[in-house]
Structure 1
Amino acid sequence: MKLTFRIQYRTVWGEYLCVILNEEVIELSTKDGNEWQGTAECRLPEGDSLVTYRYGVFRDGVCIRKELGAISHSFCIGNAQQSHLILCDCWRDLPAESYRYSSAFNGIYVPQQPNKLSDGVGSCITFRALCPGLSVKKQALGLIGSCDALGNWEYCRPLRMMEVQPNVWHLTLDAASLRYTFEYKFVAINVETGAVEEWECGSNRIFHIQPLLRGETYLPMETEVFFNLPQRKIAGSAIPVFSLRSEGSFGVGDFGDLKHFITWAAETGQQAVQILPINDTTMTGTWTDSYPYSSISIYAFHPMFVDLRQLPVLNDWKLAKQMEEERIRLNALPQVDYEEVNRLKQAYLKAVFQQEKELILSSEGLRSFFHDNEEWLMPYAAFCYLRDRFGTPDFHQWGEYSVYDEEKVQALCASDSEAYPEIAFHYFVQYELHIQLLDACNYGRSRGVIVKGDIPIGISRTSVEAWVEPYYFNMNGQAGAPPDAFSTKGQNWGMPTYNWNVMEKDNYQWWRRRFCKMAEYFTAYRIDHILGFFRIWEIPVHSVHGLLGQFVPSLPMSKEEIQSFGLRFQPEFMTKPFINDYILNTMFGERSEEVRQTFVQHVHHDIYEMRPEFDTQRKVEAYFAGKTDEADLNLKEGLYSLISDVLFVVDRDNPEMYHPRIAVQNDFVYRQLTGQEQEAFNRLYNHYYYQRHNDFWYREAMKKLPVLTQSTSMLVCGEDLGMVPDCVPWVMDQLQILSLEIQRMPKNPEHEFGHVSEYPFRSVCTIGTHDMSTFRGWWEEDRSVTESFYYRELGHWGDLPEHAPGWLCEEVVRRHLYSPSMLCILTWQDWTAMDESLRNPDIEIERINVPANPKHYWRWRMHITLEELMKQDAFNEKIRSMIAESGR
């Protein structure tokens, strides 16, 4: 078929425009650098397939910019006579208000075939438009105009367009049936009656066209159609799945409980439920696996989330009775007993599998699931089998399986393999998790509730992905976060960092697959630590704390550049721990002599250095392994601080390049500098951390995030907390990613607290996250901060309440509901804080995570059941009315 493309786009010298259609690149030409056109003969798929394409800017054969947005330009193959398509376009980045195009704000899409004219029609016109949100209101897009073929403006005679892909509408007309020049408008029509219900705003559109030859189809420029729609603002709840509690759950929340929680949310006027990561984290079988941000698979879900109530009943009545007794015991506990819950649920699942094995393995549902997910499911099942067989998730200890070999894994998973029964068990568990989560999320869609997932930034270094695709990761580094108010030593997550150079070569296929899997279930997601897509804080493997890290990628400094700031650079003094008698005496007091004798050695005068056997934090950690005495723990932390007392960190790739150590102004080595040297260092430090990398990190993020965020139609939210460079808001605004706004973590350094009324519309506002104390907990942490918040921010007077009363919690909730933010998602604990008779009397137990503690036990559960929650009529009505009054 012959295709002619026309587009206006201003380029600079050396750039040219191309059309990217499937694998073909069609070069366009121009006479003025503004109006581009090109014609090509293209082989197109047979049948009624939709053909999509994008425009790109090229230089020297390389695409340097491509249209953004999940929605490509598109056309449909016409009737037998249509041999030449003339496509007029405009360059399209993200649609205005692109959130409206997300699956979060649209119903379930039902594919429609474009209307196709009979073969007797010689020339056609195809109108194309983008219009979101109509399916929710049971409407379709229509066309109406000034000639008889377009209904003569009669509201009952519009032409209905077809939704050929989500929010993309097409209509093909016989060009001979139209009277030129005509006027027209797009309208929203009732899908049942076909009558016009809404007219697009603005003046009538006017259609001018030259006569078409036989066989030509003209496609005018695609247009975005807007009706008089108010901004969508919704409220919701955040809660980990494991924290849910129902009368029938097995000591931990499950996907059946999630569906029940969605019911509560919908009936109280909420339209969003946000959860934490739900991937399988089973490594040791102990409570340390409760950390949900270190999974063994980016695809597999945690077996503990299976709702056992949805499985066949156990035929062994003795075992069934025993399991029921254990279920009641575990479900009555105030917190999750992670180890017992998983041990017993695993036993129950194995009993059901053994009982129903033949039926399960022959079911069409499992076969179809395996076919669609084989690429990740087979390695995952093999990983689980080998983890259990060797008693460790560290695949380096698996002998012949230590290096992933696809043929060996396929042999292990073959149906005639000895291992197959155990392998197939993992298929069964993942299938059950899939259908249960899909059911809960589809139920959410049917009730108008967004179910928002969470994508962790990292993976475990003992995971399926690290085993199968190690080339995507840097195993010699540890991902983490630089110091902040919540973790003064920084955070060390222990996860490998990403090899972005390798990922870029296949256009970030690893990430795109991951996002597409999430989109099967969720309509929105949170990117955990979105700063990691700009740069990650990488900590050397020999460190425990995060202070000796460096940003990757980054622009390190040479000796000459450091000295250009007025600081005389002395590598021996500035890149190694500075230790003298004063420091030892100050830090270790009565144990300073023990430190001199055991951990450090004298160099000259009163200067010391770490002994080789203790010159890294990991070596110190190994020395103190198993020692739990508080004095020993304090000594260990002191030695960690001693090792990180350096002014510069040597670059990981080039030993002749350096990074100023983060937050070093609090340490002894900084105090050894003269006033003039400190001033020079601070200039260098501020330049490095707050100015130097903005353009560099902007370009790094724009390589990755457009590809990833536009690989699905889910609504994208970014967790942009911490040490945020100036370029982060640039990217998030350009890609229309929702930011995270928290009042006690203001983004404006001039504000003590965030101003809720000034939050941007494209944001998620919340009182606190899973990494923070609840509002009631925060109220009691620092009375001086609470006092400032109460009097200055809230404007109250009188005595400061010792504990946060219900009325005060309600006021804070109301302020957030009335904020400009698109999403107001509050933790369940902060919702219930409004009701003094309902909320948990134990404030401390409600905290989910303590980031400063890498060994924190994630085990919080609701203190009442979902059944009891549904009966709280007064409380539920209060939430319903507060949301309605706020316009959400």
Structure 2
Amino acid sequence: MILRFTLPFRTTWGQRLVVCGSLPSLGQWNLDHALNLHYHPDSGTWAQEISLPDDQLSVVEYKYVLLDEGDGGKHWEWGPNRAITNEAGRFTRIVLEDFWRAPALPENELHTAAFTKALMRRPGPPTPAAPLPGSASFVVRFQLSAPRVDSDHLLCVLGSDPALGSWDAQRAVILSDAAYPTWQAEVALVNPEQTARYKYGIWDPREQKIVHLEAGEDRLIYAAEDKRTLRVKADDHFRYPTGNWRGAGVALPVFALRSRRGLGVGEFPDLKLLVDWAVATGLKLVQVLPINDTVATHTWVDSYPYAAISVFALHPQYLNLEAIAELQDEAARQELAQLREELNAKDFVDYEPVMNAKWKFIKQLYQQEKTRFLADADYQQFRREQQAWLVPYAAFSGLRDRFNTADFSQWPEEFRTPAQVAELTREDSPGFDEFGIHFFTQYYLDKQLREAVDYARQHGVVVKGDLPIGIYRHSVDAWTQPELYHMHQQAGAPPDDFSVTGQNWRFPTYNWERMAEDGYQWWQQRMGHLARYFDALRIDHILGFFRIWEIPGHSVEGLLGHFSPALPLPQHEIEQRIGWFDYGRLCEPYIRWHVLQETFHGQAQAVFDEFMEDAGYGAIRLKEFVRTQRQVEAVMGEKMQQDPANTDHYTWLRTGLYRLINEVLFVPDDQQPGFYHPRITLHLSRSFRELDDQTRPRLQELYFDFFYRRHEDFWRRQGLVKLPAVRWATDMLICGEDLGMVPESVPGVMKALGILGLNIQRMPSDPSVEFGNPAVAPYLSVVSPGSHDMSTVRGWWEEDREQTQRFFEHLLGHWGQQAPQYCEPWVAREITEQHLHSPAMWAIFPLQDLLAMSEPLRRQDPLAEQINVPANPTHFWKYRLHLPIEELLEEVDFNHEIKKTVHQSGRIQVY
């Protein structure tokens, strides 16, 4: 049998196309031995054919590759491998009429799970293909990859040949969705010797009519007379006449959900209620914060959702107890009911009492259900499938509670490595219950979350998760694979609108070189596990895949960090560019008597006497026991413990000493002696201001070059190496949180990988504007009025009256009018509508900002609506919706208004 490859493609000089695939004649996936295609200038088509022995592979897989001799590029086409069945019994010739699948096309993202598993899911059994007449010798197989077809519709093909209906819409050929998102039908043309014209359409099976016929020129099937030939028309995208698909969603952490059956905190089954509300309001997506287990201390500190003790395990706070089994003990049932009433009455998540209650009843349920649970075939399968992370997690959690700390470096020697994991977690071991309870908890958490996500998919709603960029240093991951992390370093973020001294998350940084050795297996496993629950994903601080803000272990704040990886400056380059180099002046804290007075006022002398010494020539040096911020933190912590009445004074003193330690202009590189990084925001330091007039502009230019020019190509290559392994590990729709100090190369890399960017109106990516305009956001992006790290729209409105006035005039268009003192419901509505009408694929709103459109429904105090305050490292994550979702579902008029607004923006319609 002859297999002919054809592909229309206009190349430039030095470019050529090859086919690489599973057959020996296609190189068996070795690109060096791929099949060369030949160019036919008359048709602009590349083509080549091979002979396929009848007994060879039943299915041939292949892909097209563009080879560019100019830059040495080897550009594989986008998408999964193509496949063709060996049809030797039916045909003597197969002609593959393919189209190049270009990367970075917006339509590619419609092939992600968000669309194929939720928004456009195929709910019923596949539509069968129409049978061919037995005598058919010239067959055309129409094959179109088109995920954007509503669940209630099908694809059809209509054309000029009688077999295609002769343009009679009632006789259109219905395509099968058995291989959705690829649609397929085989047709024996009546007049194969004539060129036929055709188009695809969207078919409504209930109305038995075409809803939309695609736009653009007719597609063509050129005349041919070969007998026993199959022509596979693998066409390019469906040409929608209605523009890009756009949707709207709502964001709310699971812990913030309030339902009548909850236990003082949102639980996984409550997601079903939020999905119901999304359906009622025309919203297509529900976004949550990270849901992994953060139980390290059994205190309110564990409320921070970005410090997980396992990147796989789920947080026990989200477990609904009744969904496991009813408590058999009457007194326990009454106690649970009373606690539910007490905890649900609170207007915030009271984390410690909530978790104490959860653990108390989880332990009772475990003992009550233990025998049945351990014998459950579903549980046994869950344990087998998830054992790689589940068994170490159960052991870690049991040991954490046994030794009262998650810091495994403080455990007895024999437990500081996971060597005894298998022995500890054996079901027949005498201490099994210590670990078995965590198998029990994770099994039911997994079950309840998957049920909620499946419910969302059935209702056409996407559940979007959140991937924290870092890992917690006292975690299962650090315990089992410490070689993957730089445990002596800390990850964070440079100064931004959230924090003027930067953010120190205290997570270890990644050992990317080690991770690369096995093809980033850890990342692929992590992404694969998230895909178990989510069809879309927000990658927190995606800039970390290009470079992370790495802070030395001796720092508390983030100013003394530097980007890693980076290209630090050698001493001779600094000397050459600013004219001199003096380590003491540039790299040690700049402390002079007037600086001390400015910082500590009347207590300057006392502070000097206790913490400092004369360094000569007017310079002052910190004493050895307070030369780092961690040392200062420890000293002041001890003072506060001994003299708690003066805590405020010691806090003020600590802040002043931190500020002095930050007074440097260059940070020495910890890997390369003699190399230095300019300190971030050095132009704001006293040390910079007191340089001479010649040095300041030279240093300013060096600084700008270092942060905005020197690393662009270097960081672009970093992203292109690390991100693909994460991006293509699953079929989730990926969105990157790309806020802050963004290298110019980042948007291009994200676009090339089909990763959606984030546009927050108050944090524009364009530094020349004060506010972002949703109307100019690119299609592959998410627009939102805010995030969990910001005040809500109502809270922000009251923070800076002058800024609010400028926003009111410039962004909302109320020129010359006085902005209202408070964010009135009509103002909140204008901001919402502005985002809904953006060209961006998604407009996602914090639920608080949607409720802001209703005076009766919104919370009285807007400041109580903020989820996180990044500038406060001891922030308590306690926000909880002030009304039950059941009650919100009953607000028919409000829900209808939202749905009407969403509909008017075009974000409900599929086409």
Common topology (TM > 0.5):
yes
In structure 2, how many angstroms separate the alpha carbons of the residues matched to 1:840 and 1:44?
A: 71
Give the residue type in structure 2 aligned to 1:673: L
In structure 2, how many angstroms separate the alpha carbons of the residues matched to 1:37 and 1:108?
A: 37
- For the residue of structure 1 that corresponds to 2:694, the secondary structure is helix
In the alignment, structure 1 residue 729 sits paired with structure 2 residue 730: no
Q: Of residues 823, 828, 841 in structure 2, which corresponds to 1:804?
A: 823
Displacement, 1:320? 1.1
In structure 2, how many angstroms separate the alpha carbons of the residues matched to 1:65 and 1:779?
A: 51
Q: Measured at CA, do residues 88 and 873 of structure 1 come closer, stay the same or move farther in structure 2, by a change above 3 Å? A: closer
- For the residue of structure 1 that corresponds to 2:687, the secondary structure is helix
In the alignment, structure 1 residue 311 sits paired with structure 2 residue 324: yes
Displacement, 1:728? 1.9
Aligned pairs (5 A) from 1:242-641:
242-398=255-411, 399-405=413-419, 408-626=420-638, 627=640, 629-641=647-659
Q: Is the 8 A contact 2:528 2:729 kept in 1?
A: yes
In the alignment, structure 1 residue 692 sits paired with structure 2 residue 710: yes
**Which residue is 1:25 aligned to?**
30
In structure 2, how many angstroms separate the alpha carbons of the residues matched to 1:882 and 1:563?
A: 61
In structure 2, how many angstroms separate the alpha carbons of the residues matched to 1:417 and 1:394?
A: 25
Displacement, 1:676? 1.6
Displacement, 1:301? 1.1
Displacement, 1:153? 4.0
* Per-residue deviation, residues 571-600 of structure 1 (Å, max 9, x unmatched): 332122222222222222233233333323
Aligned pairs (5 A) from 1:729-808:
729-794=747-812, 795=814, 797=816, 800-808=819-827
Q: Of residues 102, 114, 138 in structure 2, which corresponds to 1:104?
A: 114
Displacement, 1:310? 1.6
Q: Is the 8 A contact 2:247 2:843 kept in 1?
A: yes
In structure 1, how many angstroms separate the alpha carbons of the residues matched to 2:536 and 2:390?
A: 24
In structure 2, how many angstroms separate the alpha carbons of the residues matched to 1:175 and 1:499?
A: 60
Q: Is the 8 A contact 1:382 1:413 kept in 2?
A: yes
- For the residue of structure 2 that corresponds to 1:579, the secondary structure is coil
* Per-residue deviation, residues 610-653 of structure 1 (Å, max 9, x unmatched): 33322211111111125261121111111112112111112232
* Per-residue deviation, residues 535-571 of structure 1 (Å, max 9, x unmatched): 1111111111111111112222222333443442323
Give the residue type in structure 2 aligned to 1:98: N
Q: Which moved more, 1:76-85 or 1:867-876?
A: 76-85
- For the residue of structure 1 that corresponds to 2:534, the secondary structure is coil
Q: Which moved more, 1:230-239 or 1:184-193?
A: 184-193
Q: Measured at CA, do residues 390 and 179 of structure 1 come closer, stay the same or move farther in structure 2, by a change above 3 Å? A: farther
Displacement, 1:816? 2.6
Q: Is the 8 A contact 1:245 1:252 kept in 2?
A: yes
Q: Is the 8 A contact 2:664 2:687 kept in 1?
A: yes
In structure 1, how many angstroms separate the alpha carbons of the residues matched to 2:808 and 2:539?
A: 32
RMSD of aligned residue pairs (Cα, Å): 3.3
In structure 1, how many angstroms separate the alpha carbons of the residues matched to 2:864 and 2:409?
A: 38
In structure 1, how many angstroms separate the alpha carbons of the residues matched to 2:455 and 2:56?
A: 36
Q: Measured at CA, do residues 630 and 353 of structure 1 come closer, stay the same or move farther in structure 2, by a change above 3 Å? A: same
- For the residue of structure 1 that corresponds to 2:387, the secondary structure is helix
Displacement, 1:747? 2.4
* Per-residue deviation, residues 250-270 of structure 1 (Å, max 9, x unmatched): 000111222112212211222
Q: Measured at CA, do residues 742 and 59 of structure 1 come closer, stay the same or move farther in structure 2, by a change above 3 Å? A: closer
Count of residues in correspondence between the two structures = 881
Q: Is the 8 A contact 1:533 1:705 kept in 2?
A: yes
Q: Of residues 825, 839, 849 in structure 1, which corresponds to 2:844?
A: 825
Q: Is the 8 A contact 2:362 2:441 kept in 1?
A: yes
In structure 2, how many angstroms separate the alpha carbons of the residues matched to 1:729 and 1:258?
A: 33
Q: Which moved more, 1:563-572 or 1:371-380?
A: 563-572
Q: Measured at CA, do residues 796 and 660 of structure 1 come closer, stay the same or move farther in structure 2, by a change above 3 Å? A: same
In the alignment, structure 1 residue 130 sits paired with structure 2 residue 145: yes
Q: Which moved more, 1:478-487 or 1:831-840?
A: 831-840
**Which residue is 1:234 aligned to?**
247
Q: Measured at CA, do residues 35 and 72 of structure 1 come closer, stay the same or move farther in structure 2, by a change above 3 Å? A: same
Q: Measured at CA, do residues 830 and 470 of structure 1 come closer, stay the same or move farther in structure 2, by a change above 3 Å? A: same
* Per-residue deviation, residues 635-690 of structure 1 (Å, max 9, x unmatched): 11111121121111122321222211100111122123112211001111111111
Q: Measured at CA, do residues 658 and 212 of structure 1 come closer, stay the same or move farther in structure 2, by a change above 3 Å? A: farther
In structure 1, how many angstroms separate the alpha carbons of the residues matched to 2:263 and 2:533?
A: 23
- For the residue of structure 2 that corresponds to 1:341, the secondary structure is helix
**Which residue is 1:75 aligned to?**
84
Give the residue type in structure 1 aligned to 2:502: G
- For the residue of structure 2 that corresponds to 1:310, the secondary structure is coil
Percentage of identical aligned residues? 38
In structure 1, how many angstroms separate the alpha carbons of the residues matched to 2:312 and 2:191?
A: 53
Q: Measured at CA, do residues 40 and 664 of structure 1 come closer, stay the same or move farther in structure 2, by a change above 3 Å? A: farther
In structure 2, how many angstroms separate the alpha carbons of the residues matched to 1:191 and 1:315?
A: 51
In structure 2, how many angstroms separate the alpha carbons of the residues matched to 1:708 and 1:612?
A: 44
Q: Measured at CA, do residues 224 and 872 of structure 1 come closer, stay the same or move farther in structure 2, by a change above 3 Å? A: closer
Q: Is the 8 A contact 1:69 1:710 kept in 2?
A: no
Q: Is the 8 A contact 2:792 2:849 kept in 1?
A: yes
Q: Is the 8 A contact 1:128 1:223 kept in 2?
A: no
Displacement, 1:123? 8.2
Q: Measured at CA, do residues 179 and 873 of structure 1 come closer, stay the same or move farther in structure 2, by a change above 3 Å? A: same
Displacement, 1:282? 0.7
**Which residue is 1:862 aligned to?**
881
Q: Measured at CA, do residues 38 and 851 of structure 1 come closer, stay the same or move farther in structure 2, by a change above 3 Å? A: farther
Give the residue type in structure 1 aligned to 2:362: L
**Structure 2 gap ranges (5+):** 40-44
Q: Is the 8 A contact 1:567 1:681 kept in 2?
A: no
In structure 1, how many angstroms separate the alpha carbons of the residues matched to 2:706 and 2:81?
A: 39
Q: Measured at CA, do residues 310 and 160 of structure 1 come closer, stay the same or move farther in structure 2, by a change above 3 Å? A: same
Give the residue type in structure 2 aligned to 1:864: L
In structure 2, how many angstroms separate the alpha carbons of the residues matched to 1:505 and 1:45?
A: 36
Q: Measured at CA, do residues 335 and 103 of structure 1 come closer, stay the same or move farther in structure 2, by a change above 3 Å? A: same
Q: Is the 8 A contact 2:163 2:189 kept in 1?
A: no
In structure 2, how many angstroms separate the alpha carbons of the residues matched to 1:99 and 1:349?
A: 41
Q: Is the 8 A contact 1:274 1:453 kept in 2?
A: yes
Q: Is the 8 A contact 1:544 1:617 kept in 2?
A: yes
Q: Is the 8 A contact 1:29 1:38 kept in 2?
A: no
Q: Is the 8 A contact 1:245 1:865 kept in 2?
A: yes
Q: Is the 8 A contact 2:289 2:305 kept in 1?
A: yes
- For the residue of structure 2 that corresponds to 1:454, the secondary structure is strand
In structure 2, how many angstroms separate the alpha carbons of the residues matched to 1:204 and 1:831?
A: 44
Q: Is the 8 A contact 1:56 1:63 kept in 2?
A: no
Displacement, 1:35? 4.8
**Which residue is 1:679 aligned to?**
697
* Per-residue deviation, residues 432-471 of structure 1 (Å, max 9, x unmatched): 2222222222222222222221111111112222222223
- For the residue of structure 1 that corresponds to 2:202, the secondary structure is strand
- TM-score w.r.t. length of structure 2: 0.89
Q: Measured at CA, do residues 604 and 810 of structure 1 come closer, stay the same or move farther in structure 2, by a change above 3 Å? A: same
- For the residue of structure 2 that corresponds to 1:624, the secondary structure is helix
**Structure 1 gap ranges (5+):** none
- For the residue of structure 2 that corresponds to 1:568, the secondary structure is coil
In structure 2, how many angstroms separate the alpha carbons of the residues matched to 1:209 and 1:372?
A: 54
Give the residue type in structure 2 aligned to 1:297: S
Q: Is the 8 A contact 2:64 2:77 kept in 1?
A: no
